[in-house]
Amino acid sequence: MARPAHRLTMAALALAVTGATTALPTAPVQAASPATANAPANAPANVTAASRAAASSSASAASSAASRRKGDTPARQRLVGAWTTSTDRVVAALGGQTVRMVVRVSAGGGGTRLRLSNVFGTAPVTFAHVHVGAQAYGAEILTGTNRQVTFGGRKSVRVPAGRAVWSDPIPGRIVAGSALVVSLFLPGTVGGITGHERAYATTFLSDPGDHAAEETADGFTYTSTQWYFLDRIAVETTSKAGSVVAFGDSITDGAGQNTDANRRWTDYLRQRMVRVSPSRRMAVLNAGIAGNRLLRSGIGPSGLSRFYRDALTQPGVRTVVVFMGINDISRGEYTSIKPLAYGYKRLIALAHARKIKVVGATLTPFYGFGTWTPEREDVRLRLNQWIRTSKAFDGVLDFDRAVRDAEFPEQLAASYDSGDHLHLSDAGRRRLAYTVNLRAL
């Protein structure tokens, strides 16, 4: 299978020009508390105070003496999500080979951790070797940056079905916006794979064997557009800003963009965050699943059933944007908004119990899509009015008003329509991101 051509990422280009290899550390990986390697899948993603102290000890030891001499108190390190994807069971055949995935992080910092999930698996999965490096292009890793990742001090880890595991912290720092390459060697055949169906990114699959430590792309001869097992990356930072989670369906997942384009509305929002002062710069985490519904499982677990795991337990989460419900309307037979409003209220109550802010987004038009009917349009309009006026949410993003046609508001404006009259064009997704009042987050 032919592999697509890839552009050199900005982070890799900068490293290549300067000759630096500081995107990922050259020092050996240090072990964190084994408790973090066996955290239940639904447990909060933050580590314990003891393991956080152990994780940051190597980074803080060198500066502590200088800080004391200056009379300063070292800044407290916080664990914040830098990247995430929402998972389900995906159809794929993997085993005896290496999986290489490329993800773009939205936050920078030290003490980088990866989380591998077997939540939807039917049997334990062994990861014999895991490496992470900085992308040069495609499956190729920038020379000198590919590092071994450990779990409780060990190079391999066995993850039971229904569980997820955090790696040990990796010394050094990563830069916000950089593309990381995560390679997983699976020595045995895996059944019931936990992953993300529509990554809108190229994943590289190797010939048989362990190619995780290799920085060249020679061993990777197949591709897919799914992500496997990797569901979170977190970093330690002194910023108090935390993260915002976009919780939604295909419009959030990125439908309508080209593979490897990184033009989800959350990607555009991440780019806006770069221009915000560091003290207010939030990480942006995408928890969208294409086809997902708020009230019913089907394509992925329902929004209600996955909200705690996919949104509320993200490290450092402060705000969740709920942009979900159009699939419930377009594929359902609701004549009242009460079930959907009740679903929203349940999400809000769960978030508020953890002191997390919830911002509601109005549902965008879908006139011209195959499932549109006047009755469904009436439900959408009434639900949007409830989102705007009920004061149930801590804030409102009026995505409907931002992308609808001014003369015929039942449909998307032509420049914001991907062509199917439901999903947005690149310009439409960018418009959503620039509709967000950053101070409201």
Read off the pLDDT of residues 216-243 as tens digits, 9 standing for 90 and up. 999 999 999 999 999 999 999 887 889 9
Q: What is the mean pLDDT of residues 382-392?
A: 98
From CA 387, how far away is CA 398, in angstroms rounded? 9
Read off the pLDDT of residues 290-299 as tens digits, 9 standing for 90 and up. 999 999 999 9
From CA 88, how far away is CA 100, in angstroms rounded? 19
Q: What is the mean pLDDT of residues 389-414?
A: 98
Q: What is the mean pLDDT of residues 271-278?
A: 91
Q: What is the mean pLDDT of residues 4-26?
A: 34
From CA 117, how far away is CA 17, in angstroms rounded? 36
> 223 in helix, strand or coil?
strand
Reported pTM = 0.85
- CB under 8 Å to 408, separation ≥6 — which residues? 367
The half-sphere exposure of 207 on its side-chain side, counting CA atoms within 13 A, is 6
From CA 356, how far away is CA 44, in angstroms rounded? 13
Identify the CA nearest to 369 among candidates 359, 360, 358, 380.
Answer: 380
Neighbours of 7 (CB within 10 A): 10
Neighbours of 160 (CB within 10 A): 15
- CB under 8 Å to 194, separation ≥6 — which residues? 87, 88, 89, 90, 117, 118, 119, 120, 121, 228, 229, 231
CB 437 within 8 A of CB 400: no
Q: What is the mean pLDDT of residues 324-353?
A: 97
| Residue 440 pLDDT level (bands cut at 50, 70, 90) | confident
**Position 258 pLDDT exceeds 70:** yes
| Residue 257 pLDDT level (bands cut at 50, 70, 90) | very high
From CA 255, how far away is CA 245, in angstroms rounded? 18
